[in-house]
Amino acid sequence: MSRTAAEGFDVGELFDATIDSGSSILLTGDDTADIEAVFYRLLAAADNERSIVLATDDDGRSVTRAFDGISRGLSDRVEILTCEGPARADSVTAIEDMSDLTAAGMSFSTVVANAQQDTDRFRAGIFLASSICGAVDDTRSVYRFLNSNFLTELRRGDGLGVCAIDTSADIGSSTSSMIAGLETSFTGRIDIADSGITGTTLEISGLDGVPDTVEVDL
């Protein structure tokens, strides 16, 4: 299937719309629980897809539980790279040093290649990129990692990418300026603007066919 004919990715767990193949989303918010809920719903793979998660703060079991909390057995279609804990399953790859983005990038590319042996379509995400920024000496290395590895894999394959950032995290630099810099490399942005009794408001930009504002129940 050519890129121009590739089907969009259904995100029915969040809202009634599809997101174009090859799209990359910058997911931002100041509540980790809300970010996590939106992140895993965006990454929930259909039967003909695989999910790939680079988890900075959670071990493989936590990621597995997050997916199965959305739909039982969903974790069967997941490949995990974790910076926390050992690789206790074939679907889990351990990242020993989160600040070594060269090694992390190689591992990520390998996992994507392995996943595409089963199906061309994949959803890849980083939860949380803000933790990576806090671990490195120079945040410019994060920009290089995202552009050279993460976003490149999306562009060359039939994929959807989500990069989550906790705006309340201490990353050693201006969070707003970092997000402004990253936005130029990503297709669109979903910002978790407000969460209350009536639901959570998502402010969305840059994604064709997706409303600018969506109310969701997390």
The full set of domains in the chain, from first to last, is 3-216 (3.40.50.300)
pLDDT tens sequence across 149-178: 999 999 899 999 999 999 998 876 678 888
Span 102-120, average pLDDT: 95
Which band of pLDDT confidence, cut at 50, 70 and 90, is reported for residue 1?
very low
pTM over 0.85: yes
For residue 218, the number of C-alpha atoms closer than 13 Å in the C-beta half-sphere is 24
Q: Is pLDDT at 180 greater than 50 in this prediction?
A: yes
Mean pLDDT across 118-147: 94
For residue 172, the model assigns a pLDDT of 65
Note the pLDDT tens digit of each residue in 36-46. 999 999 999 99
Q: What is the pLDDT of residue 70?
A: 96
pLDDT, averaged across the chain: 92
| Predicted pLDDT of residue 171 | 77
Residue type, 130: S
pLDDT at 170: 80
Q: Catalogue the E-assigned strands of the chain.
A: 9-10, 18-19, 24-29, 49-55, 78-82, 92-94, 121-127, 158-166, 188-196, 199-205, 213-216
